[in-house]
Amino acid sequence: MRNISSLFFTLFFSIHLFSQISLSPYAYDELIIMFSDTASSQDLSDFLIEEGMFVVEGPTPVLNCYLLAYNDPNLPYASGNPQDTINGSKKKANQNSAVTGVGLNFLVSTDSKKARQEVVEMVNSCNGIFDAELTGNSPIYTSIFDTGITKSKRVWNGYYDPSSFGFDFVYNSNHPTDNHNHGTHMSSIISQNIVNGNGALTLSAYKTQGDDGVGSVFDAIKAIDKAISEGINIVNMSFSYNVEATHGAEPKSAIRLAIDEAESMGGILFVASAGNDSNDNDFQNNVAGLAAFPSSLPNDNIISVASADCNKMISSFSNYGQESVDVFAPGEDIIGKDRFGKPLVLSGTSQATAYVTQLATYLGMNQAIFDWEDVKCAILEGTEPSPSIGKVLTDGFINYENSMAILLNNPCGTGNYIGHSNDQEEAFNLTEEESGTYSIQSNKNQNCVMQIIDPMGRVFFKQKVQLFEGKHSYEFKDIPTGSRGIYLINIQGDELNKTFKIFK
């Protein structure tokens, strides 16, 4: 087994002191490479010979992904700048027509801190907003990519059978047992309050981090590969690595392509933590030039989660991003269980991510057929306003009741649910009847200007509108097909300046 003692993910659960964001180190002698379905064994052989490398692991069954290493482990250091050697091999792989994906095997440090015991009573009070029973009849398969799950029956009560479902990708075992605590803490949050008498929920443990919190990007890709083949619906990813913010735009990013394949082949929804460095993950606003991944990838089937306190205010440690991070969820002093079934209080975007995974699971249990797009849409559109404006895409904190109502009663993703507006008289309201046609309820006759702003902040439609007292329909230029995100509809008049948000 390869030495993984220096390969590890940041598990986002330590929380009272955080360092400034810095580039995550990576293995200078390892390269992740993904070949196309039409590539031959000769294509692989030619690349190995040219770069002086060998296959450490692979190929994965679905994604045809390999982990390569140099025959001479000292080769990267010969030039005095080991980054140049591995990045040179990465560049050649990007130029190879037989290669569809390539990436470096990133390394990140771990940290953890247990909250004060006296905080438990406050935690129970805070968690009360999520104490309702969560029920559903449709089978849903949720996987936790983490340090494994405990075998303790005091934690699971039938949701999870570690002897038959899951895998340990770190130690290559069928028994993904948690000897660390982080994975169990995530899993206990996800499963709490879910009534599983009909067996709708099945949790699986994909152990991508070891007993000391050690993991690798390649182990995560292997887990994605298995999730596709095993029919997983939802994946919780409470980890990340910090890399250049432009990483998500790389056309052959291996982790991005793996998640793409999980969308097209398996319809999998990924819920990922935004990170704990108090950093803006948006590229254009990123002073450090770094962002947390995989949550910052542009894949549609990712929900990126920031942490907030019980008052819905952003946590001081949480990463954020008005374009790259989607929602807030509770992440401060969260009570869960350790691997022995005892209470454990931790904080971080990890915990916030687990709550969003729980909500996604709950929604999925109430769909006839799991549809990740409708689940994501209901979560984003169902948020309630957060005081921390401009920090996440929705400006919102998750709300279970709202999201379920949208899922069951509204065609999601068409704009029928209008999000949080700025404070104006409630006598003025706007709803979308169908694509491009809006019903406006006005308390008086007035001349206004209506403009629509796309997710990039561009005004692509502006028109004068005469509003009449009462409810009337108005037809406007439609939002471009295929453009997903939060659109702003701003209406200004003599005594009116109101902005609505619509998720497309």
Residue 34: give its domain's CATH number.
Answer: 3.30.70.80
Spatial separation of the C-alpha atoms in residues 293 and 282, rounded to whole Å? 12
Task: State the total domains in the chain.
Answer: 3
Residues of the chain with pLDDT under 50: 1-19, 109-113, 115-125, 163, 413-428, 481-483
In sequence order, the 6+-apart residues with CB closer than 8 A to the CB of 24 are 10, 106, 107, 108, 241, 242, 243
Residues 185 and 65 in one domain: no
Using a 10 angstrom Cβ sphere, with 0-12 exposed, 13-18 middle and 19 or more buried, the burial of residue 193 is middle
Please state whether the peptide bond connecting residue 59 to the residue before it is cis, i.e. omega within 30 degrees of 0.
yes
7 lies in some domain:
no
DSSP 8-class letter at 76: G
175 lies in some domain:
yes
279 lies in some domain:
yes
Residues 42 and 90 in one domain: yes
Spatial separation of the C-alpha atoms in residues 234 and 251, rounded to whole Å? 25
Tens digits of per-residue pLDDT, 230-273?
999 999 999 988 888 777 778 799 999 999 999 988 899 999 99
172 lies in some domain:
yes
Tens digits of per-residue pLDDT, 35-91?
998 999 999 999 999 999 999 999 999 999 999 999 999 999 888 888 999 999 999
Spatial separation of the C-alpha atoms in residues 314 and 11, rounded to whole Å? 19
Residues 64 and 142 in one domain: no
Residues 146 and 217 in one domain: yes
* Full domain range(s) for residue 210: 117-409
Domain boundary among 378, 409, 440: 409
Closest Cα to residue 145, out of 60, 68, 59, 232?
A: 232
DSSP 8-class letter at 283: G
Residue-level pLDDT at 355: 95
In sequence order, the 6+-apart residues with CB closer than 8 A to the CB of 115 are 15, 123, 333, 345, 346, 347
285 lies in some domain:
yes
468-483: b or e for each residue (b if 16 or more CB lie within 10 Å)?
A: eeeeeebebeebeeee
Residue-level pLDDT at 180: 87
Spatial separation of the C-alpha atoms in residues 228 and 231, rounded to whole Å? 6
Token representation of residue 203: 């949790």
6 lies in some domain:
no
Using a 10 angstrom Cβ sphere, with 0-12 exposed, 13-18 middle and 19 or more buried, the burial of residue 347 is buried
Residue-level pLDDT at 125: 42
Please give the model's pTM, rounded to 2 decimal places.
Answer: 0.81
Asked if 240 and 41 touch (Cβ cutoff 8 Å), the reply is: no
Spatial separation of the C-alpha atoms in residues 108 and 121, rounded to whole Å? 33
Residues 365 and 439 in one domain: no
Which residue carries 């729980």 as its tokens?
358
Residues 92 and 133 in one domain: no
Torsions phi, psi for 32 (to 5 deg) = -90, 130
Residues 364 and 496 in one domain: no
Tens digits of per-residue pLDDT, 319-351?
999 889 999 999 998 888 888 888 888 899 999
Residues 180 and 280 in one domain: yes
Residues 396 and 452 in one domain: no
Residues 224 and 342 in one domain: yes
Residues 181 and 269 in one domain: yes
Domain boundary among 81, 106, 131: 106
Domain boundary among 106, 128, 159: 106
List the CATH number of the domain containing 453. Answer: 2.60.40.1930
403 lies in some domain:
yes
423 lies in some domain:
no
Instruction: Report residue 281 CA to chain centroid gap.
Output: 13
Asked if 503 and 489 touch (Cβ cutoff 8 Å), the reply is: no
In sequence order, the 6+-apart residues with CB closer than 8 A to the CB of 437 are 473, 474, 475, 476
Spatial separation of the C-alpha atoms in residues 328 and 385, rounded to whole Å? 10
Quote helix, strand, coil % in the chain, to nearest 5.
25, 30, 45
Residues 165 and 197 in one domain: yes
